Structure 1
Amino acid sequence: MYDPASGTWTATASLNTGRDLHTATLLPNGKVLVAGGSNGAALASAQLYDPASGTWTATGSLNTARYLYTATLLPNGKVLVAGGDDSNFNASASAELFDPASGTWAATGSLNTARYRHTATLLPNGKVLVAGGGDANGSSIASTELFDPASGTWAATGSLNTGRDSHTATLLPNGKVLVAGGVTNSGTAASAELYDPASRTWAATGSLNTARYTHTASLLPNGKVLVAGGYNGDGGALASAELYDIGLGFVSPDWQPQIATVTRISGSRLTLTGSRFQGVSQASGGNYQDSSTNYPLVQLRNIDNSQVAFVLVDPTAGWSDTSFTSTPVTNFPSGPALVTVFTNGIPSDSKFLTLESLLQLTGSVSRKTHGGAGTFDINLPLSGEPGVECRSGGGNYTEVFTFNNNVVSG
């Protein structure tokens, strides 16, 4: 394990089964799911790593052994596995969902096109964009499709301008997806393109300085993307790295909001301090069509699965040019996250924050048991005018509280 504080590595427990070409997914409960991969043949087994004990335990096996697939943590906490090569070394179209609560896998809708060495990106709307990859004939393909967790189905969307596999896909702060490099049917690619979820189309953007595949791409807090390593057209390992600048076209840092601190208060609310949260102007014409944009939009982005949420201002604490206090953050995964302030459409540099699993009371009732007559509940309001709980006669009473997350021992 790597410790950023000391910059050192320490050994931890070994996997129960050696494997490569697998995936590792951080779950909301803090454990890490490793599934599939290859040890000379495709594997179906899966294991969970517990950071608290530093040990691995077996969990439910995949329905289809596979490697070179994708794994995506969904907003509902389940993990979507799609495509890959199967035990017969054939490209697979099958997909399945892992449920951490039960430790089991269930089949979901199959891809329209079997593929491997593709990418899968969780979009802000909750859908998953699968792009490119290699097909059953070993050709690099341009087709892309969207998975809808609500229906469990896939739908075709706009095709890449250049078919590719072994590329990277990165969700940018503006909601678009950057695809870069990879292998095409003509060789190693330097080209890059952007997917716009609003129009469902791809557009070319600036090319890499060095053509590469099987590289990495990391979104940095300042909104740039770091591309590093990989292989060149001759199969040689690359040491070079380069930065992609989205080029938002504003005067930085003079117009850019700045975050100084981000802290969690009162359980699940966030408070930010900094400057230019109101921007440098209303960014509007000021007439009857006035549409001010200097209200700060505060974005949370989960680092592990790129889930995005915008938090609202607390109506009591309010906001100013130097501070912002949010309403409670709910239905957002725990773990490392980036916080960004947008004012006049201009993003701040992001601040790192670790969100612990947050419990929020969402409902409360008083439950009375009437023997054979059954039970009835008296709702106890959480907001507004206080309610009065009336009790008379004998019987057993139970207070029932409902939280937005699982209650676990700590």
Structure 2
Amino acid sequence: MKGKYLIIISAVLLILIGYVWYHFQYFLQDKKYGSVSTIHTMLVKRSAHTATLLNDGRIFLTGGILKAEGIEENNSSTEFYNPVHDTFYRGPEMNIKRAGHTATLLSNGEVLITGGFNNEGFLKSAELVNLSSGKMERVNGELSEPRSAHTANLLHDGRVVILGGANGGLKSNKYIDVYNPATKSISKINSLLTARTGHTATLLNDGRLLIVGGSQNWRSDVLNTSEIFDPATNTIYQTAKLHVIRNKHAAVKLRDGKVLIIAGSDEAESIGGRYRTCELFDPVTNTFRLVKNKLADSRFKISNAADILSNGNIIVAGDGKYAEVFDAQTQTFHTTSGSVQDAWMYSTVTTLKDDRVLIAGGYNGNMQPTNKAWVYKPK
């Protein structure tokens, strides 16, 4: 009988401890650093999609995975987010179903969509979204290789550099392609020193492109190397090494020109290998240093899930129930109030012109995509 009472008392204590811890976590959230709240849902479920801020303040969302483990369940739909009314509405249909692709806003207001994958395999195709006519247009030529989990960056001269990514096998891509808006064509111009996918590419203030981490093979041979592409000469060269190997991380340029490299994984155990650590790249000294303060949550598959705010701070919201803000002055992380309810991987985080942030889609630990969306408000 005594043992029975002890079991009951222990169970009650565990419930009380869980209750207190739940509310203590909420107490720890720093309301000084803003809050997250739910808004209307997207028209369809999306993960590994894109969310591009347009010149008129809307966000253009494209493609993504519709169903768990379902490469064949990708979609070709697009939709717009209207920040004035917090609503989503349908956009033009892409010519091809895509997930793991890129969508880059060009200087003329058009959007270039490249690569990705669907039930037919990994894609070499690209298409152009003419937002004035609402139509999708083909571009001249194709990517040099099929690509997914690659990067596409708008350069200061208006061209777009497309590099890396997976080619459908176990190997990563090495070739560098460039889209020329004057001729609406794609051509190969060089090769990376190391083939990589799941990397990041960040445009520096001086026009060079910093390429960091990723993996050479599918979930193996994760890299700590980085390279710099110089568009003035179309050349590429090795730069400093990360302190740890990183894959499927995020990278955001700070106001001072440094680049924050955020979390990722060593892929040794996939989710089990996730990091809380971050590093800063200094383009003046071409070196990386570890940030002393760590994220509250380890985060992975977050390449499109971090962005800069107008005050210079960085918001990170992928693969965690709570968003976190990196204070660029104190170089510390702070958990915001409000929750996104689950740890959504391959979600998107996009800062609006009014400094709110749209957090959209992703899939959870069971690889179930969502159509849910949230808005972060700085204060």
Mark yes or no: TM-score above 0.5. yes
CA contact (8 A) 1:183 1:213 kept: yes
Q: Which of 97, 122, 135 is residue 91 of structure 1 equivalent to?
A: 122
Judged with a 3 Å threshold, the aligned counterparts in structure 2 of structure 1 residues 8 and 24 are, in CA distance, closer, same or farther, namely: same
Distance 2:35 2:307 in 1: 25
Distance 1:112 1:206 in 2: 28
Equivalent residue number for residue 242 of structure 1: 279
- The residue identity in structure 1 corresponding to 2:246 is R
- The residue identity in structure 1 corresponding to 2:135 is T
CA contact (8 A) 2:115 2:123 kept: yes
Shift of 1:86: 2.2
Distance 2:282 2:94 in 1: 39
Equivalent residue number for residue 372 of structure 2: none
Distance 2:274 2:161 in 1: 29
- By relative contact order (CA 8 Å, sep 6+), the higher-ranking structure is 2
Q: Which of 193, 197, 202 is residue 231 of structure 2 equivalent to?
A: 197
- The residue identity in structure 2 corresponding to 1:188 is V
Distance 2:37 2:135 in 1: 31
Alignment deviations for residues 136-168 of structure 1 (CA, whole Å, 9 cap, x no partner): 333112111100011111121221100000000
- The residue identity in structure 2 corresponding to 1:196 is D
Equivalent residue number for residue 38 of structure 2: 11
Alignment deviations for residues 281-320 of structure 1 (CA, whole Å, 9 cap, x no partner): xxxxxxxxxxxxxxxxxxxxxxx999xxxxxxxxxxxxxx
CA contact (8 A) 1:226 1:243 kept: yes
Shift of 1:108: 1.3
RMSD: 2.6
Distance 1:60 1:4 in 2: 39
Equivalent residue number for residue 134 of structure 2: 103
Distance 1:32 1:218 in 2: 19
Percent identical: 33
Judged with a 3 Å threshold, the aligned counterparts in structure 2 of structure 1 residues 4 and 243 are, in CA distance, closer, same or farther, namely: farther
Structure 2 unaligned segments of length 5 or more: list them: 1-29, 68-72, 287-305, 313-328, 330-351, 355-379
CA contact (8 A) 2:52 2:61 kept: yes
Shift of 1:233: 3.2
- The residue identity in structure 2 corresponding to 1:141 is N
Equivalent residue number for residue 194 of structure 2: 162
- The residue identity in structure 1 corresponding to 2:104 is T
Alignment deviations for residues 181-239 of structure 1 (CA, whole Å, 9 cap, x no partner): 00113610000010011221111111111101110001001111000111113122111
- The residue identity in structure 2 corresponding to 1:30 is G
Equivalent residue number for residue 223 of structure 1: 257
Judged with a 3 Å threshold, the aligned counterparts in structure 2 of structure 1 residues 103 and 6 are, in CA distance, closer, same or farther, namely: farther
Q: Which of 93, 107, 119 is residue 75 of structure 1 equivalent to?
A: 107
Judged with a 3 Å threshold, the aligned counterparts in structure 2 of structure 1 residues 148 and 77 are, in CA distance, closer, same or farther, namely: same
CA contact (8 A) 2:145 2:173 kept: no
Shift of 1:248: 5.5
Q: Which of 159, 168, 191 is residue 127 of structure 1 equivalent to?
A: 159
Alignment deviations for residues 352-394 of structure 1 (CA, whole Å, 9 cap, x no partner): xx989xxxxxxxxxxxxxxxxxxxxxxxxxxxxxxxxxxxxxx
Shift of 1:6: 5.5
Equivalent residue number for residue 240 of structure 2: 206
Q: Which has the higher strand share?
A: 1
Distance 1:87 1:233 in 2: 25
Question: Is 1:24 matched up with 2:51?
Answer: yes
Question: Is 1:38 matched up with 2:65?
Answer: yes
Distance 1:21 1:63 in 2: 18
For the pair shown, which has the larger CA radius of gyration, 1 or 2?
1
Distance 1:210 1:21 in 2: 25
Q: Which has the higher helix share?
A: 2
Structure 1 unaligned segments of length 5 or more: list them: 250-303, 307-334, 339-348, 357-410
CA contact (8 A) 2:40 2:86 kept: yes
- The residue identity in structure 1 corresponding to 2:244 is T
Alignment partner of 1:195: what SS?
strand
- TM-score after normalising by structure 2: 0.64
Alignment deviations for residues 74-119 of structure 1 (CA, whole Å, 9 cap, x no partner): 000011000010232x111111111222322112132122211110
Question: Is 1:59 matched up with 2:91?
Answer: yes
- The residue identity in structure 1 corresponding to 2:128 is L
Judged with a 3 Å threshold, the aligned counterparts in structure 2 of structure 1 residues 241 and 305 are, in CA distance, closer, same or farther, namely: closer
Judged with a 3 Å threshold, the aligned counterparts in structure 2 of structure 1 residues 207 and 244 are, in CA distance, closer, same or farther, namely: same
- TM-score after normalising by structure 1: 0.59
- The residue identity in structure 2 corresponding to 1:38 is I
- The residue identity in structure 2 corresponding to 1:237 is R
Runs of 4 or more above 4 Å deviation: 3-6, 335-338
Alignment partner of 1:29: what SS?
coil
Report how many aligned residue pairs link the two structures.
257
Judged with a 3 Å threshold, the aligned counterparts in structure 2 of structure 1 residues 337 and 156 are, in CA distance, closer, same or farther, namely: farther
